[in-house]
Structure 1
Amino acid sequence: MKLFPRLFSRKIEKQISSYQQELIETHYREVENMYRQIRGWRHDYKNHIQTMKAYAASGDWEAICHYLDLLDEDLTTVDTVIKTGNPMTDAILNSKISLARAKGITVQADAHIPVRLTSSEIDLCCILGNLFDNAIEASLALPEEQRLIRVYMDMKNTQLYISFTNFTAGRKLTKMGKRFQTTKGEGHGFGLVRIDAIVGKLDGYISRGSEDGAFTTEILLPQL
């Protein structure tokens, strides 16, 4: 009688492990794409300087101003949005912020990590990536002018505090057991399971709340 629960548990663990690996690979591609853009811009830097020198030599200041405007516009697409003090966190947050904005979602982020983290950066990457993916998915159900994600990270004494808030389609989400019901397809619930598993492993604390029009997740991770 106990064989079936064990087999079911192993199947779930295998699916979660596969999902985690897929998530990490997706995040890696997103971050790599961001840095590829930065490397490309730096590679072209000398050419930009030579072009402006040529305009300056001919006294064409109008052309220089126009060229600088074009460079400024181009640079905003690769400029670092967030500098938390932790490179891995910067990479995942900036890649997700770029992805969200490309989908017409406004992101308000205030994140600071002034200490060296004791928790695994891979674990933190999975937590932040899942939180952001869930928030993006929920935001896409709203009209573009109503899409907003708020992110806050900072130290509270010896714990890292993480807060994600996204607006929902004007309704309060319902709970099934310990988790809020998801309207996503099969497999998407593994993100929530993975977050809970990591927070539990790190002896952290997680709280989810749904009020009319907004869904908030708060996490505390010890950093002793």
Structure 2
Amino acid sequence: MAFYLLHNYMDFIVPLESMVYDISKYTVIATFLIYFIFLMIERFSDLDCFMKGAHGIFMLAYSLFAILISFLAVYTKKAEYKSKEEKNRMEYLIEYSEQIEKSYMEIRKFKHDYKNILVSMENYIQSNDIDGLKHFFYSHIKETGILFDQELLEMSPIRNLEAKEIKSIVLSKLYLAHEKGIEIDVNVPQKLDSFPVPSIMLVRMLGIILDNAVEESSIIDKPKILFAGLRQEEAITFIIANKCRSDIPDLHVLKKKSYSSKGKERGVGLSNLDELVQLNKNVYLDTKIEEGQFIQILTIWEG
């Protein structure tokens, strides 16, 4: 429905812009024609009275045309701005839905793997095959760290993120990092249940930051990602830090539109993140590279 309305709105804007252009074009042509006619009429001295009247009518008509064109131009710009805003909101909604869907699929995969492990263990127990159960546990579970992995247990502070949509995106990204063999350190000491920024925006911002952290961590040795969420007196701060390459490009390069270490037109760069931050006056992003760490501090001011 939203796509249909947006499509119809754009169909209305385009003809309106064309109409303004046509009116402007024909007004210029008419101005030159009338001016040429007046020059021809001035050759006849006995038409002075007619010239004065015609000149007044011409000025009035020209003024009305100018006012009409100005009104249409302003109206078109406003409509174009609203259309752009609606398009942006639609894009945010689509990306938000995609992030939620990815989170759901990743968590579903984890639950599926966990269930399969329990079923396998149950079969050993039902058949009273204790030796087989021990072998299965030590060779397939403990060694691979699938069940009760210490790093997964260390993610438990994430429970303090009580906003489900925020917890979902963070948990899914950190679990993806864990699957890639990246060390995870989570610190959310206080309950964070509400945020003074639209959920869609925060999901997108955290999703971009964590995606980039996982992307960078997957190409270095001994990778590690730190995620912290802190409530201060008048603000909520998220800190995401990851080990990075020694030859990582400068920030002004990373912030170029469409930049990604994955290659052209792949990944989501810092420029997209900056655009989201600029849309929210109470959000501040500090990005820096210090001592082999790529650090992003996202501060959301309350009130």
TM-score (structure 1 length as normaliser): 0.70
**Counterparts in 2 of 1:42 and 1:191: CA distance versus 1, 3 Å:** same
1:110 to 168, 180, 187: 187
Conserved? CA contact 1:16–1:190, under 8 Å: no
Q: Which runs of 5+ in 2 are unaligned?
A: 1-72
Greater fraction helix: 2
For 2:119 and 2:102, locate their aligned partners in 1 and report how far apart those are by CA, in whole Å. Answer: 27
**Counterparts in 2 of 1:40 and 1:169: CA distance versus 1, 3 Å:** closer
Match of 1:33 in 2: 105
For 2:245 and 2:137, locate their aligned partners in 1 and report how far apart those are by CA, in whole Å. Answer: 42
Distance apart, 1:94 and its partner CA: 1.7
Match of 2:167 in 1: 90
Sequence identity of aligned pairs in percent?
14
2:203 to 110, 125, 137: 125
**Counterparts in 2 of 1:114 and 1:157: CA distance versus 1, 3 Å:** same
Conserved? CA contact 2:173–2:207, under 8 Å: yes
Conserved? CA contact 1:135–1:166, under 8 Å: yes
Conserved? CA contact 1:206–1:218, under 8 Å: yes
- 1:59-78 aligned at under 5 Å gives the runs 60-69=129-138, 70=140, 73-75=145-147
For 2:291 and 2:184, locate their aligned partners in 1 and report how far apart those are by CA, in whole Å. Answer: 20
Conserved? CA contact 2:92–2:201, under 8 Å: no
Match status 1:55 vs 2:127: yes
Distance apart, 1:156 and its partner CA: 1.5
**Greater mean deviation of Cα atoms: 119-128 or 16-25:** 16-25
For 1:165 and 1:214, locate their aligned partners in 2 and report how far apart those are by CA, in whole Å. Answer: 6
Match of 2:232 in 1: 156
Residue 159 of structure 2 aligns to a residue in which SS? coil
**Counterparts in 2 of 1:180 and 1:39: CA distance versus 1, 3 Å:** closer
1:42-95 alpha-carbon deviations (Å, 9 max, x no partner): 765874564243233xxx321222344445654358x67343322333321121
Residue type of the alignment partner of 1:124 = L
Conserved? CA contact 2:243–2:292, under 8 Å: yes
Conserved? CA contact 1:20–1:194, under 8 Å: no
For 2:95 and 2:221, locate their aligned partners in 1 and report how far apart those are by CA, in whole Å. Answer: 29
Match of 1:100 in 2: 177
**Counterparts in 2 of 1:169 and 1:193: CA distance versus 1, 3 Å:** same
**Counterparts in 2 of 1:135 and 1:48: CA distance versus 1, 3 Å:** closer
Match status 1:205 vs 2:284: yes
Conserved? CA contact 2:226–2:242, under 8 Å: yes
Residue 116 of structure 1 aligns to a residue in which SS? coil
**Counterparts in 2 of 1:106 and 1:197: CA distance versus 1, 3 Å:** farther
**Counterparts in 2 of 1:15 and 1:211: CA distance versus 1, 3 Å:** farther
Higher relative contact order (CA 8 A, sep 6+): 1
**Counterparts in 2 of 1:20 and 1:103: CA distance versus 1, 3 Å:** farther
For 1:5 and 1:148, locate their aligned partners in 2 and report how far apart those are by CA, in whole Å. Answer: 48
Q: Provide the aligned length of Structure 1 versus Structure 2.
A: 213
Conserved? CA contact 1:173–1:181, under 8 Å: no
Match status 1:195 vs 2:281: no
Distance apart, 1:197 and its partner CA: 2.1
Conserved? CA contact 2:124–2:130, under 8 Å: no
TM-score (structure 2 length as normaliser): 0.55
Conserved? CA contact 2:92–2:200, under 8 Å: no
1:127-175 alpha-carbon deviations (Å, 9 max, x no partner): 21111122233445x4x31533222112123421111223333256243
